[in-house]
Structure 1
Amino acid sequence: MRFAEAVERIERARSFAELGDSYRELAKAVHPDAVSQAETAAATRAFATLSRLYRERNRRVIEGDIADLVADGGTLTKIPRSPADSDLMEAEARALTTLRDKGDPKYRYYAPRLRDSYLHEDRERKRRRVNAIERLDGFVPLSEVNRRIDPRDAAWVWRRLLVGLGWAHRAGVIHGAVLEEHVLIHPEKHGLALVDWCYSGPRAKAIVARRRDAYAPEVLTTKTVTPATDIYMATGLMTRIAQDLPRPLKRFADGCLYDAPRMRPQDAWRLLHELDETLHNLYGPRQFRPFQL
Structure 2
Amino acid sequence: MSVQELREAYERLTQTVCVEELFGMPGPDETPEAVATAVRGAYHRLSRIVHPDLHAGDPDALELANDAFARLGELYRRAEIKIAAGHYGAGSADDEPTETGDGIDLVIRTRRRRYHLRSVLAEGDVATIYGGTCLDAESDDPGIVAKVATEAGDNDLIQREANALHQLWSSPGIQTKHLPVVLDQFKTTDGRLGNVLRRLHALDGPSIRARRPGGLPADHVVWIFERLLSAVGYAHSRGILHGNVEPSHVLVRTGDHNVFLIDWCWAVVEPARTGDGFHCANDDYHPPEVQQRGPPTPAADLYGVGKCMVYLLGGDPAAQTFPASVDERLQRFIRFFLLPSPRQRAQDAWEMHGQLRQLRQEIFGPPRFVELVI
Kept in 1, the 8 Å contact 2:147–2:196? The answer is yes
Q: CA deviation at 1:169?
A: 1.1
Q: CA deviation at 1:57?
A: 8.6
Report the counterpart of residue 303 of structure 2 in structure 1.
232
Report the counterpart of residue 9 of structure 2 in structure 1.
none
Q: What letter matches 2:280 in structure 1? A: A
Report the counterpart of residue 161 of structure 2 in structure 1.
92
Residue ranges of structure 2 left out of the alignment (5+ in a row): 1-100, 109-113, 134-142, 272-276, 315-322
Give 1 or 2 for the bigger CA radius of gyration: 1
Paired with 2:157 and 2:204, the residues of 1 have a C-alpha distance of 21
Kept in 2, the 8 Å contact 1:199–1:207? The answer is no
Task: Report matched runs for 1:55-204 at 5 Å.
Answer: 59-65=118-124, 66-73=126-133, 74-102=143-171, 104-122=172-190, 127-136=191-200, 138-145=201-208, 146=210, 147=213, 148-201=215-268, 202=271, 203-204=277-278
SS at match of 1:59: strand
Q: What letter matches 1:120 in structure 2? A: T
Paired with 1:263 and 1:51, the residues of 2 have a C-alpha distance of 51
Distance 1:159 1:18, change over 3 A: closer
Distance 1:112 1:58, change over 3 A: closer
Q: What letter matches 1:78 in structure 2? A: K
Q: What letter matches 1:119 in structure 2? A: K
Q: What letter matches 1:262 in structure 2? A: R
Q: What letter matches 1:116 in structure 2? A: D
Q: CA deviation at 1:52?
A: 5.4
Describe the superposition over 1:48-84 as per-residue Cα deviations: whole angstroms up to 9, x where unpaired.
xx9959x999702112432111111222111111222
TM-score (norm 1): 0.75
SS at match of 1:63: strand
Kept in 1, the 8 Å contact 2:216–2:313? The answer is yes
Q: Provide the aligned C-alpha RMSD in A.
A: 2.5
Kept in 1, the 8 Å contact 2:117–2:130? The answer is no
TM-score (norm 2): 0.59
Larger RCO (alpha carbons 8 Å, 6+ apart):
1
SS at match of 1:176: coil
SS at match of 1:197: coil
Distance 1:165 1:64, change over 3 A: farther
Distance 1:156 1:17, change over 3 A: closer
Paired with 1:64 and 1:105, the residues of 2 have a C-alpha distance of 32
Between Structure 1 and Structure 2, how many residues are aligned?
239
Report the counterpart of residue 248 of structure 1 in structure 2.
329
Report the counterpart of residue 8 of structure 1 in structure 2.
none
Kept in 1, the 8 Å contact 2:287–2:300? The answer is yes
Residue ranges of structure 1 left out of the alignment (5+ in a row): 1-15, 20-49
Does the alignment pair 1:272 with 2:353? Answer: yes
Q: CA deviation at 1:275?
A: 0.9
Q: CA deviation at 1:117?
A: 2.5
Paired with 1:57 and 1:93, the residues of 2 have a C-alpha distance of 20
Distance 1:255 1:57, change over 3 A: closer
Match for residue 214 of structure 1 among 281, 285, 301? 285
Whose helix fraction is larger, Structure 1's or Structure 2's? 1
Report the counterpart of residue 262 of structure 1 in structure 2.
343
Describe the superposition over 1:35-56 as per-residue Cα deviations: whole angstroms up to 9, x where unpaired.
xxxxxxxxxxxxxxx9959x99
Over 4 Å off, 4+ runs: 16-19, 50-53, 55-58
Distance 1:95 1:52, change over 3 A: closer
Paired with 2:365 and 2:235, the residues of 1 have a C-alpha distance of 29
What is the percentage of aligned positions where both structures have the same residue?
A: 28
